[in-house]
Structure 1
Amino acid sequence: MTARLGERTIPWRHLDRVAPPALRISIGVVFVWFGVLKVTGDSPVAHLVGAAVPWVDQGFLVPALGWFEVALGVALLIGRLPRLTLVVVAAHLAGTFLVFVQAPALVMTGGNPLLLTTNGEFVLKNVVLICAALVLLGRVEERRTG
């Protein structure tokens, strides 16, 4: 299937080859970037991490989580151990929803889950990243069994 864009024909079949690695790399860049911000103490969401896991010392947790995110991001960038990495990425992102349970006032206005704060929107977007990781995981499994 092709489409015309001006005078140029776009072969959409190439997207099937290019999009999954681009998605994997873009998620890897985001993980490295956000992880480095946590390691350097510059993360604007460090308070959310603390609110989600209040029983762990924040001076330890935030940088440790940052290094973990950097490691996941690098693993995504180099493409090693894709099944394990993508499962861990999805699980890690699912863990961000702890803040909805532990500190709902930070993510919802007046306890209403339909009225999210900026923090709530930031966390909610992880649904898309989880789905992206699952799509990539499905592609890895498809190649493995196909």
Structure 2
Amino acid sequence: MTVSTASQSQAQQQSESGIYHLIQVIAPPLLRVTLGIVFLWLGITKFFDPSPVRGALEGSYAFLASDTIVYILGGLEILTALLLFIGIGLRFVGVLILLFFVGTLSIFFIESASMYSDVGFPALNITGEFFIKDVSLAGVALMIIAQDMTRQAMKRGR
């Protein structure tokens, strides 16, 4: 009985080890691709209807509130997505993503009154929820930068 239990335990550990190894292998590219999908989606939508972004800019950075600026942002987001998909210049792409999010989150703080529901802090309305999600996406960008730096260091060490 003890031998059987020990071998079952060992088999379970090997199985878990295999699953965790698989996760380690697929997580970095999956992280890049999923963030790329988000950026592709956000970039494309700016070309269909620039008014929501223009409206957010009007309340915070009025000098940037034009369709042209929104289209430029959309184009940069699409380019960012493509670079994430391809996996080129990831640490620089990560910094660009952080700059996007710093810009977006600064609007959250400048226009914070329009981000909360009728209840007030901490209840956000849909606009506030859209902006606050960038906190987690900024964390994803930091992870992509860190992964790329580790990958580059390993290449140099070979």
Question: Equivalents in 1 of 2:18, 2:119: separation in Å?
Answer: 48
Partner residue in 2 for 1:18: 26
Question: Equivalents in 1 of 2:62, 2:53: separation in Å?
Answer: 14
Question: Equivalents in 2 of 1:19, 1:102: separation in Å?
Answer: 35
TM-score, normalised relative to structure 2: 0.78
Are the counterparts in 2 of residues 35 and 70 from structure 1 also a CA contact under 8 Å? yes
The Cα of 1:141 is off from its aligned counterpart by 1.0
Q: CA 1:99–1:81 in 2, change beyond 3 Å: closer, same or farther? A: same
Higher normalized strand content (fraction of residues): 1
After TM superposition, what 4+ stretches of structure 1 lie above 6 angstroms from structure 2? none
Q: 57-66 or 78-87, which moves further after superposition? A: 57-66
Provide the alpha-carbon RMSD of the alignment. Answer: 2.3
Q: 101-110 or 10-19, which moves further after superposition? A: 101-110
Higher normalized helix content (fraction of residues): 2
Task: Using the aligned pairs only, state the percent identity.
Answer: 26
Unpaired segments ≥5 residues, structure 1: 4-8
TM-score, normalised relative to structure 1: 0.83
Partner residue in 1 for 2:8: none
Unpaired segments ≥5 residues, structure 2: 1-12
Question: Equivalents in 2 of 1:52, 1:13: separation in Å?
Answer: 46
Residue 39 of structure 1 aligns with an amino acid whose one-letter code is F
- Identify the match of residue 86 of structure 1 among 94, 101, 109: 94
